[in-house]
A and B are shown apart, each in its own frame.
Chain A
Amino acid sequence: MGAIVKTELLKLKRYHIIWAGIALMCLSVLLTLFTSMANDGAVWDFRYLIEQVIKNNMSMIFPMCIALIAGYIISREEKDDVLKNIVTIPVSFKKLLVGKLIVCAMLSILFGFICTIFTLIAECIVGFPGFTINLVIQGLVQITLENLLLYLAVLPIIVVTSRLSGGFMIGVIIAFVYGYGGMFAAGNMTLANIYPITASLGLIWYRSYDTSVKWSFSLCLCSLIIIVAISVILIATMKEKDNKKIRAKTKKIKPKKGW
């Protein structure tokens, strides 16, 4: 498995999709800054900024972002017709998938770091009060851990859509809807604790402003353990498909209009 993970890291070289992930992390912070301009009576300080970045990351950006990146990374072998060379080594698709999922977990952590850096840059620009090193460290841990837990929450979607040729875009849409559902789940105590997306917030001791929400660490942990277990079962029961060459879609030539 070590060799597979190592080669998966090597394959990331010159992948533009990683830059897309970084851009989305930047977007998450920019979106938070835009909301700070709204005159809704909220008092913004550095802590509130970090919490809003985490909330936006959870509900809008990260589930979709990681589903997109993981789907792209997983589909590379079939798209570039490399799978036949890997299967004949022999390395099974299942093993390869596990290796890729480990790398995606690493990327989630990396994006957490990057998101924290963007948050710090935003703080430097806007200058909200209450900046402390302790809060920086807490923010770094919370944002990074939240990204990793969100990745685990969307893992079944990534696994299910991984074998559909070109199906990862469907996974991205589902992940976005699934992530956005967190906004609604956050308003109900039971739902917030069992809905995997919001359960991740409970595990990082996210300060909720809704008084009805009291985090149950064990319930949140159970929710994510179940999600990871589902992913493991999905991978274990996955059938090795016949290697079929993915044929590039031929572009339809539009007839010229007019003269």
Chain B
Amino acid sequence: MSEYIIQTNNLTKQYGEQKSVSAMNLHVKKGRIYGLLGRNGAGKTTTMKMLLGLTKPTSGSIKIFGKSMETNSKDILPHIGSLIESPGFYPNLTGTENLRIFAELRGINKSKCVRDALEVVGLPYRDKKLFAEYSLGMKQRLAIALAVMHNPNLLILDEPINGLDPIGISEMRSFIRELCDVHGKTILISSHILSEIELLADDIWIIDNGILLEEESMKELAKKNSRYVNFMVSDSQRAAEILRTEFECDDFQICDKNRLQLYNTTIPRAEITYVFVKQGLEITEVYLCEETLEDYFKRVTGGEGIA
């Protein structure tokens, strides 16, 4: 079997003239959480829909669990749990009744699976509240319960924390992390909240205009991200001279009259500060700056933000 759980080859989806997803080559390894980042309309949901067979690709191929999705979807899909776009359930039924229907169709032990899945997401079993009366957060929880109810090996979750309250987000984060770390599930997750992806994902994909711009592990990303020490001093030119003469360092940038950014973060800050003061410079601020995922996203997509 292939080392990848998901492997796509030049996956493309075109609606008329517009390419929603363009020649995408994805590689998903077992037991990792993949964060899918992109602006609205970048092609995240379309990619997920193609992986689930909800939309047929215009060209390219998809392999899941080493099998072609085109010819083996009946074997593959029972091992996948998914949440795509908004939660869709029967409004005239309760949460438990809704899950029972899906359990029946999946041919699994109804009562136990439904009770366990509802417990995991913090929804009551056999509650009398109809789905139509649920809040957005409750609907989202029910959708996650449906995705995990049949104990799938792969989870594809499109914006799973939409509508959840802060506690709910934290609980969901722990739950998803546990699914991956303890149970060895592979999870594909998209979110608009960059900080969530940063906290959750092992690997990230950045998609823009249907093109996969980056496929990187968070560890590699951390290495790539620029770090620098920011100095606010009385004379940045004088500070630059001191760095050159006393520390033999040219890896800095003078931003303005008072601000200097030092990219060599190996020199102890206390030592530099001591020398600056000794040479008669006044220092108002010294701090370490690190590029966030948002900064990185902006840099890669060349945009102003995700939304």
Residues of chain A at the chain B interface (Cβ within 8 Å): 3-4, 6-7, 10-11, 13-15, 76, 80-91, 242-243, 245
Q: Number of residue pairs across A and B with beta carbons under 8 Å?
A: 75
- Residues in chain A near residue B130, CB distance under 8 A: 14
The residue on A at minimum CB distance from B107 is A3
Residue from A10, A83, A85 having most chain B Cβ neighbours under 10 A: A85
Evaluate contact between A4 and B105: CB separation under 8 angstroms. Answer: yes
Instruction: Please provide the chain B residues from 46 to 103 with a CB less than 8 Å away from any CB of chain A in the complex.
Output: 49, 52-56, 73-74, 77-78, 80, 82, 84-86, 88-93, 97, 100-102
Which B residues lie within 8 Å of A87 (CB)? Answer: 53-54
**Known pairs A88-B77, A90-B78, A242-B56; A3 contacts B104 (CB<8 A):** yes
Q: Cβ of B257 < 8 Å from any Cβ of A?
A: no
Asked if B73 and A90 sit within 8 Å, CB to CB, the answer is yes
Residue in contact with A13 in the complex, picked from B49, B52, B92, CB distance below 8 Å: B92
Residues of B within 8 A of A243 (CB): 49, 54-55
Count residues of chain B with CB under 8 A from any CB of chain A: 31
A-B pairs with beta carbons under 8 Å apart, 12 shown: A7-B105, A10-B97, A10-B101, A11-B90, A11-B93, A11-B101, A14-B92, A14-B93, A88-B54, A88-B77, A90-B53, A90-B74
Q: Which residues of B contact A (CB under 8 A)?
A: 49, 52-56, 73-74, 77-78, 80, 82, 84-86, 88-93, 97, 100-102, 104-107, 130, 146
Contacts of B146 in A (CB 8 A): 85
- Please indicate the chain A residues that have their CB under 8 angstroms from the CB of B100 in the complex: 10
- Beyond A80-B89, A85-B89, 9 additional pairs, beta carbon < 8 A: A10-B93, A10-B104, A11-B101, A81-B86, A82-B88, A84-B54, A86-B105, A87-B53, A88-B82
Known: A90-B78, A242-B54, A243-B54. A82 touches B90 (CB 8 A): yes
Residues of A within 8 A of B104 (CB): 3, 6-7, 10
